[in-house]
Amino acid sequence: MNEHVTLSTPAEQTVERPNSRKVFIKTYGCQMNVYDSTRMADALASDGYVTTEDMAEADLILLNTCHIREKAADKVYSALGRLRDMKTARAAEGRELMIGVAGCVAQAEGEEIIRRAPAVDVVIGPQTYHRLPEALRRARAGDRVVETDYAVEDKFEHLPVAEQAKIRARGVTSFLTVQEGCDKFCTFCVVPYTRGSEVSRPIRQILDEARRLVDGGVREITLLGQNVNAWRAEGPKGGEWGLGDLLYSLAEIPGLARLRYTTSHPRDMDDKLIEAHRDLRALMPYLHLPVQAGSDRILKAMNRRHTAEEYLRLIDRIRAARPDIAMSGDFIVGFPGETDRDFEDTIRIVEEVNYAQAFSFKYSPRPGTPGADLPDHVPEEVKAERLERLQALLLKQQAAFAKSCIGKVIDILLEKPGRNPRQVIGRSPWLQSVNVDAKTSQIGDIIQVRIIGSGPNSLFSEPIQSLINY
């Protein structure tokens, strides 16, 4: 999953009951953590909690953590130090404050969190957050609760269904987790150790949740998974379905106008999934398909199990099926043993693919992963120089792609009000933010616009047709 900035839980219109408790959820990391925070909020709502955007008024503060970047655990402990002081001040006032740590750092650190931060009441991993209400009841009774075992039961079956009013409050786009965990064991990655092995949700669960989201006003759904295109399940008439089959089925849901999915592994891009990009109007022409490096030697050391040439041939097949598709990727520079020649191979693959968007990082060793024990670590100053050069190229490509959109007539999904009166922010098929003066349209409408300008992070447009029927 590509990394995102720290987020707090989206505000929701909740009905606050007398004496209801309030929860503040701080979300770190990828889209799946955003989805997890939403589902934890749903689970807590059944226990009498309402969400708040004001940490100062919260009775429960949850840190939903990410372990993908360097020093992630240190940042969590630093935040817990500040929360400890808040808890002490609350106690002096005779008020309760409970603190919980969820997510991948919780899974990786477990009991160590309680030892280093005694103010924490609950530590709960990604596979057990359906047990959160019960864990909090035990903590309130005096236990220090650590729930990091991989759940035997299906957590999604035990999570409560969100009310339609809550779905509407969250907006017209939504994430939907269909797959979790990873069996690829890339040598740089901690995900198999914090999220476990690959598990796919059953078709019925996914379709039911998708229909509830659409009934609640959602127009666009992004399917999530650590390796989302590794999703496999038994089909309704027997036989195995893959992600392509699932997308065809989802596209038949009335009112669901747009579909996306992330994050994919090149080894799991099968023919049916590529055909879905060719056939489905609802499947947006944007694909995040990480390659990580352009050197076969480094790819082998990373245990990616594909070559640069195989990746490029795959891109050619996808573009042949969907010529207007925009590619996104992930890159790691300075992996142990990476030479100047290896890095030049990465530059060459970027030049050949020509990405519309990409995420790039310096390699940082994750404790417990094979990459951390490899010899020939690259000096930090060399990694920094390489990253600067790579990012300059990627930003140039991103700007060129945005500029190439000028003059095009496209459909955009209106998602939220803009900064200026009458301005609305929409989303292009290629996931770009689009500004438009759409005074006669509403959030959730899909309208036709002409792109008239581009900026560093968004496009500017003028409306052509007020409403497109989907």
As annotated, the binding site includes 30, 66, 104, 182, 186, 189
Q: Amino acid identity, residue 335?
A: F
Burial 20-51 (b: 16+ CB within 10 A, else e): ebbbbbbbbbbbbbbbbbbbbbbbbbebebbb
- CB contact at 8 A, 378 and 387: no
**Which residues share a beta bridge with 342?**
none
432 contact partners, CB below 8 Å, separation of at least 6: 402, 405, 458, 459
Tell me how far apart the alpha carbons of residues 74 and 108 are, in angstroms, rounded to a whole number: 13
Helices (H), 322-362: 340-353
Residue list for the binding site for [4Fe-4S] cluster: 30, 66, 104, 182, 186, 189
C-alpha 410/C-alpha 91 separation (Å) is: 56
> Of 47, 112, 42, which Cα lies nearest the Cα of 80?
112
Q: Which own/partner contact pairs does 189-192 have at CB distance under 8 Å and 24+ positions apart? A: 189/68, 189/366, 189/369, 190/67, 190/68, 190/104, 190/108, 190/366, 190/368, 190/369, 191/68, 191/104, 191/226
The C-alpha angle 421, 423, 427, rounded to 5 degrees, equals 155
Residues 6+ apart with CB under 8 A from 412: 426, 427, 428, 434, 436, 446, 447, 449, 461
Q: How far is CA 181 from the centre of its chain?
A: 13
Omega cis (within 30) before 263: yes
Q: CA distances (Å), 304 to each of 258, 260, 299, 430, in order? A: 30, 24, 5, 26
Cα 37 from Cα 31, distance rounded (Å): 10
Q: What angle do CA 116, 118, 124 make, to 5 degrees?
A: 85
Closest CA to 119 of 76, 61, 80: 80
Radius of gyration of the chain (CA): 23
